[in-house]
Amino acid sequence: MQTPQRSPHQHPRRAKAATGRGGEAISPFSRLRRAGGDAPYPIGVLPGEGVGPEVIPAALAVLAAAAEGTPHHFALRTGGAIGHEALEHSGRYVTDEVIAFCRETFDDGGALLCGPGGGRFVYDLRAEFDLFCKLTPVQPWAEIADAGPLRRAATRDVDILFVRENSAGVYQGRSSAHREHGRIRDARLLVEYDDRRVERILRMACDVAHERRGRVCVVLKIDGIPDISALWVEQAQRLIADCGAELEVLEIDNACYQVAAEGSRFDVIVSPNLFGDILADVGALQLASRGMSFSGNFAESGAAVYQTGHGAAYDIAGKNRANPVGQIQSLAMLVRESFGLEDLGERMLRAARDVLAEGWRTPDIAGPDSQLVGTQELARLIAERARTAS
């Protein structure tokens, strides 16, 4: 096996996209660079804040167990502080040290496993490396159908891929404020989209829809944000018709309700930055808990950052209560999407599903007859199952 190598400006190999239910790649960014040799795959690790230092080691333990007895080897490298901790020491949410660490990992053909970082960490990191596309799969697990706030009928047959534009919109707008006597008197935010940014994210939605069920829903707020919405609709009508997909346009408020109430009607949902953030959290209702949510952020260069969707969860940090399964799924996504190791990623997921099916749960996904365990014990059980899986 040869360590993946690429130029920072080389476009990733376009691979077949799929739903991911069987462990296949779901992103056209997949590089699938397996070859001869035994050099390890580089994984850069940013443990992050809050529950990050608990769930990141848990995920890495499952990967190590799943890789035993296989020809796959990984070179782990750990970066510095991010988020609020970095701000306290450097005045920035993403330090020069962390930027250099990420760039070196990407240049070596690796990918980044990221714990939660507060403040503007995720937004600034995405801007630094033009991680314009965020893919968030939402596929409820039958093994925990007894948990979560939604009825089983609402989660049945749900398989959604959220495609979020990361590079512009509200989170990447230009903000300013006027202060008098220590108080903000007025504040402004300039939000922009151009046709290039909209086109490239819509093309990504088309690519994944083409290999899924061929339906794309664009979520906007047409009357409330008319000009930006019109830009998206015009581009969508042209591009999605060309790729042969079925197009639907929904308003953000209606879309949130529909995702929770009738999620099975959706295939691919694409949206601007803010709306994509909201929709992914609503989609986590389908998963029973935000602790099960995960995603990947991708650049056209092939750089990729994988994360959970639950944030730092400072209220339970250090209490051995955090659900590690979202972080485990993010790492399984990393080895599939960035390294093409579908079998290894599937082994990790199968182990997690088997353990949850036996009733071992953290509090956030507990059912009526569950056996409650902490972060470390649940990770140990999953790692042991992955180690013994055939």
Strand (E) or helix (H) holding 153: helix 152-155
pLDDT value for 234:
97
* From 19-28, 117-126, 182-191, the region with the lowest mean pLDDT: 19-28
DSSP string, 50-73: TTHHHHHHHHHHHHHHHHTTSS--
Q: What is the mean pLDDT of residues 350-364?
A: 98
Q: Does 382 score more than 60 pLDDT?
A: yes
pLDDT value for 13:
28
pLDDT value for 246:
96
pLDDT value for 3:
32
pLDDT value for 118:
95
Residue whose entry in the numeric block shows the structure tokens 């462990």: 23
Please give the domain boundaries of the chain with CATH numbers for all domains: 1-143+288-390 (3.40.718.10), 149-160+181-287 (3.40.50)
Residue 354 CA to residue 382 CA, distance in Å, equals: 8
pLDDT value for 241:
81
Q: What is the mean pLDDT of residues 68-77?
A: 96
From the list 214, 150, 201, the residue with the least C-alpha distance to 17 is 214
Phi-psi region of 139 (alpha: psi -120 to 50; beta: other; left: phi over 0): beta
From the list 125, 108, 129, the residue with the least C-alpha distance to 42 is 108
Per-residue pLDDT of 75-130, as tens digits, reads 999 999 999 999 999 999 999 999 999 999 999 999 999 999 999 999 999 999 99
- Per the CB < 8 A criterion, the answer to whether 272 and 169 are in contact is yes
pLDDT value for 39:
80
HSE-CB of 10 using CA atoms within 13 angstroms: 12
Per-residue pLDDT of 151-165, as tens digits, reads 999 999 999 999 999
Residue 312 CA to residue 122 CA, distance in Å, equals: 12
Per-residue pLDDT of 290-345, as tens digits, reads 999 999 999 999 999 999 999 999 999 999 999 999 999 999 999 999 999 999 99
Residue whose entry in the numeric block shows the structure tokens 């230092």: 53
Q: Does 284 score more than 70 pLDDT?
A: yes
Residues contacting 379, CB < 8 A, separation 6+: 57, 58, 59, 61, 62, 324, 328
pLDDT value for 147:
96
pTM above 0.75, yes or no: yes
Q: What is the mean pLDDT of residues 364-377?
A: 96
Taking the CA atoms of residue 92, residue 95, residue 96 and residue 97 in that order, the dihedral angle to the nearest 10 degrees is 160
Mean pLDDT of the chain: 91
∠ CA 51-54-55, rounded to 5°: 85
**pLDDT-based confidence at 26, cuts 50/70/90?**
low
